[in-house]
Amino acid sequence: MRLEDLDYALPPELIAQEPAPERAAARLLVVTREQETLAHETVAALPRLLRTGDLLVLNDARVVPARVHGRRPSGGRLELLLLQPCGDGEWEALVRGSPRVDERVHLPEGTGTWSAALGDGRWRLRLDVPGSVSAWLDRVGEVPLPPYIRRPSGPTAADRERYQTTFARVPGAVAAPTAGLHFTPDLLAAAEAEGIGHVTLTLHVGPGTFLPVRGGDLESHRMAPERYELPATTVARIEATRAAGGRVVAVGTTTVRTLESAAVGGPLRAGAGEAALFIRPGHRFRVVDALLTNFHLPGTPLLALVAAFAGRSVMASAYAEAVRRRYRFYSYGDAMLIT
């Protein structure tokens, strides 16, 4: 596969700037791989579209309000996205601006000192804030909406609820597992009533997920590792589902990467790990039988994963149909079910 196979033309007005009025009201493009058929539904129809005995696997990572604005001593503006703690009071941050090692940064209700440049806009920062960093971010941080959501006023209070799944449990992600944004307790209950169960895992989504493939070379691209936790109860339910002839339905590419990473080289393994698997055409799927996913940016590893799962020509047809029918794209957009 070539990088240009991951490109498509998207009118900019199809990039969703706001979520759908109701979560399950989002449109759903239903793709059947073997017959190469396309159908148009809504996410609310999912219990009818799946089969009794299928199992939904959801990512319960919780998005942290990790975006903070700061200033250099000279007054220059900085935008920080806190990624993860590094120990000894230091954090790794993705920074927009021009900090310098050992320079202080003025933050809301606190300060910090840059201790090291890590490359690609990432820095290590020694924070000095009152109380815990998580409580501080809850007070002063912004929801880290993707850069293609462009609003003059920036994130709103409503984004704290809508850019979060209703089943989010474990804080640590800096981006939402967006396929899960469509689910409500009522939708999951309706699926249960049809004999479609659900389980969870945790993968903390980082910015590396969305970076384009660099240098035009799929073979040399490396995914940034992302931490995951796969419970033993989830593995047991997956094994029981497949033994009974049911399908494992991954909700989102983050769920796919967790399950497929945990099955590299053998049976599916419970426990903590890091997902660094770059799934592209040629990958043999060991766990996932069906996929619910949003529409992804051109030239990204996420689109390569969809091409691997659906087949390149099926994916191209599905995206062309979604553009023609004016589906809404990306994080706050519509979804696609590939069976």
Q: What is the pLDDT of residues 17-50, one digit of tens each?
A: 999 999 999 999 999 988 889 999 999 999 999 9
d(CA 131, CA 133): 7
Residue with tokens 């006023």: 153
Alpha-carbon 248 to chain mean position: 19
Average pLDDT over residues 174-184: 96
pLDDT band at 216 (very low <50, low <70, confident <90, very high): low
Question: What does the mean pLDDT of the chain come to?
Answer: 94
Q: Which domains does the chain have, with CATH numbers?
A: 3-63+162-338 (3.40.1780.10), 67-140 (2.40.10.240)
Nearest to 30, CA basis, from 38, 42, 22: 38
Binning pLDDT at 50, 70 and 90, where does residue 164 land? Answer: very high
Tell me what pLDDT residue 88 has: 83
d(CA 220, CA 217): 6
Under 8 Å between Cβ of 304 and 3: no
Secondary structure (H, E, C), the chain: CCHHHHCCCCCHHHECCCCCCCHHHCEEEEEECCCCEEEEEEHHHHHHHCCCCCEEEEECEEECCCEEEEECCCCCEEEEEEEEEEECCEEEEEEECCCCCCCEEEECCEEEEEEEEEECCEEEEEEECCCCHHHHHHHHCECCCCCCCCCCCCCCCCHHHHCCCCCCCEEEECCCCHHHHHCCHHHHHHHHHCCCEEEEEEECCCHHHHCCCHHHCCCCCCCCCEEEEECHHHHHHHHHHHHCCCCEEEECHHHHHHHHHCCCCCCCCCEEEEECCCCCCCCCCCCCCEEEEECCCCCCHHHHHHHHHHCHHHHHHHHHHHHHCCCCECCCCCEEEEC
pLDDT band for 158, please (50, 70, 90 cuts). very high
Model confidence at 217: pLDDT above 80: no
Q: How confident is the model at residue 5 (pLDDT cuts 50, 70, 90)?
A: confident
Does 270 score more than 70 pLDDT?
A: yes
278-289 pLDDT per residue, tens: 999 999 999 999
76: confidence class by pLDDT, cuts 50, 70, 90: very high
Predicted pLDDT at 215: 64
Would you place residue 2 in the very low, low, confident or very high pLDDT band (cuts 50, 70, 90)? confident
| pLDDT tens digits, 218-247 | 777 888 889 999 999 999 999 999 999 999
Place of tokens 């590792």: 225
Checking DSSP bridges between strand 248-251 and strand 271-275, what pairing results, if any? unpaired
Percent of the chain scoring above 90 in pLDDT? 84
Q: What is the pTM of this model?
A: 0.94
pLDDT band at 329 (very low <50, low <70, confident <90, very high): very high
Predicted confidence band of residue 209 (pLDDT cuts 50, 70, 90): low
pLDDT at 222: 83
Cα-trace Rg, the chain: 20
**What is the predicted pLDDT for the residue at 210?**
61
